[in-house]
């Protein structure tokens, strides 16, 4: 078996090496991917057509917003799938815990540091979400930070404390709400006569002109992404760490 594996690796490796020899030079400004019509349009026109200085966010949330909506759905599926597979409902009292009883929140240094850090992390996360279309950042990054703040809380003070702030039901509702915001915003465009996710058609209800409507809408969908990512990060962590029992654990 190892021998066949070796053969497969050698063949695929050779293919990849041969293909690499055929590529345009590293960082070549005249390669199709850097100079092509599509990337040329993004580089020259993004600010004009969307009023968003961060080109990456414009590609992610507007030009290819349909992809990003489904990427958010992928994250949602990952969370729901893990809950669906791991979560054990009903009585788990009979089964002894695999882990020693955690002395929850006994360490005052860890607890105090965590209480100091969590608000700061969350504040910065909100900034990253809100400022995503002007500077590096966005819904995915901000959402991960928000989710991490809850995980930090669970690590330092025990899962029950974190669950009081983000219960299981709450996490699922929050995750679904995020996608409803994103996809619902796209459907709203249909009612204003545009195509799906055509933010420009929303300019009657949003302040500013058509281009500003695109910029505002990007903020809205980034917030939707952040909702889903936050909730799913914490749901995945809490289910994996407690083998789906959502009690004690760690």
Binding site for other proteins (CB under 8 A): 15-16, 18-24, 31-39, 41-42, 45, 62-67, 70-71, 73-74, 77-78, 80-85, 87, 89-90, 169, 172-173, 175-176, 179-180, 183, 186-187, 189-190, 194-201
Rounded CA separation 129/225 (Å): 9
| Residue 20 or 116 having the CB closest to other proteins | 20
| Residue 67 or 209 having the CB closest to other proteins | 67
State which H helix or E strand residue 177 sits in: helix 168-191
| Residue 76 or 156 having the CB closest to other proteins | 76
Q: Least distance (Å) from other proteins to the CB of residue 113?
A: 35
| Residue 2 or 101 having the CB closest to other proteins | 2
The answer for residues whose C-beta is within 8 angstroms of residue 142's C-beta and 6 or more apart is: 125, 126, 127, 128, 129, 130, 132, 222, 226, 229
CB 59 within 8 A of CB 218: no
Q: Least distance (Å) from other proteins to the CB of residue 152?
A: 26
Q: Least distance (Å) from other proteins to the CB of residue 87?
A: 7
Q: Least distance (Å) from other proteins to the CB of residue 150?
A: 20
First-to-last alpha carbon distance for the chain, in angstroms, is 38
| Residue 62 or 222 having the CB closest to other proteins | 62
Collect contacts of 53-56 with beta carbons under 8 A, ≥24 apart.
Answer: 53/133, 53/134, 54/132, 54/133, 54/134, 54/135, 54/136, 56/136
Q: Least distance (Å) from other proteins to the CB of residue 96?
A: 21
Structure tokens, 183:
């996809």
Q: Least distance (Å) from other proteins to the CB of residue 196?
A: 4
Q: How many CB atoms lie within 10 A of CB 203?
A: 19
| Residue 23 or 106 having the CB closest to other proteins | 23
Rounded CA separation 228/56 (Å): 20
| Residue 125 or 202 having the CB closest to other proteins | 202
72 alpha carbon, distance to own chain's centre: 6
Rounded CA separation 232/181 (Å): 16
């Amino acid at each position: 078996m190892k021998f066949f594996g070796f053969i497969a690796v050698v063949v695929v490796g050779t293919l990849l090496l041969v293909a690499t020899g055929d590529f345009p030079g590293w960082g070549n400004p005249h390669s199709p991917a850097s100079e092509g019509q599509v990337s040329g349009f993004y580089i020259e026109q993004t600010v004009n057509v969307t009023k968003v200085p961060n080109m990456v966010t414009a590609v992610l949330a507007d030009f290819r917003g349909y992809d990003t909506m489904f990427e958010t759905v992928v994250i949602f599926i990952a969370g729901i799938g893990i809950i669906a597979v791991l979560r054990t409902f009903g009585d788990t009292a009979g089964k002894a815990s695999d882990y020693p009883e955690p002395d929850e929140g006994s360490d005052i240094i860890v607890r105090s540091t965590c209480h100091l850090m969590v608000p700061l992390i969350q504040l910065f996360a909100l900034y990253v979400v809100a400022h995503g279309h002007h500077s590096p950042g966005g819904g995915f990054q901000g959402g991960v930070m928000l989710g991490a703040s809850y995980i930090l809380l669970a690590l330092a003070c025990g899962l029950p404390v974190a669950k009081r702030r983000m219960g299981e039901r709450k996490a699922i509702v929050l995750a679904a709400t995020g996608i409803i915001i994103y996809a619902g915003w796209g459907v709203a465009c249909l009612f204003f006569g545009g195509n799906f996710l055509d933010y420009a058609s929303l300019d009657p209800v949003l302040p500013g002109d058509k281009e500003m409507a695109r910029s505002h809408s990007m903020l809205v969908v980034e917030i939707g992404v952040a909702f889903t990512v936050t909730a799913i990060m914490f749901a995945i962590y809490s289910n994996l760490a407690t083998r789906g029992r959502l009690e004690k654990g760690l």
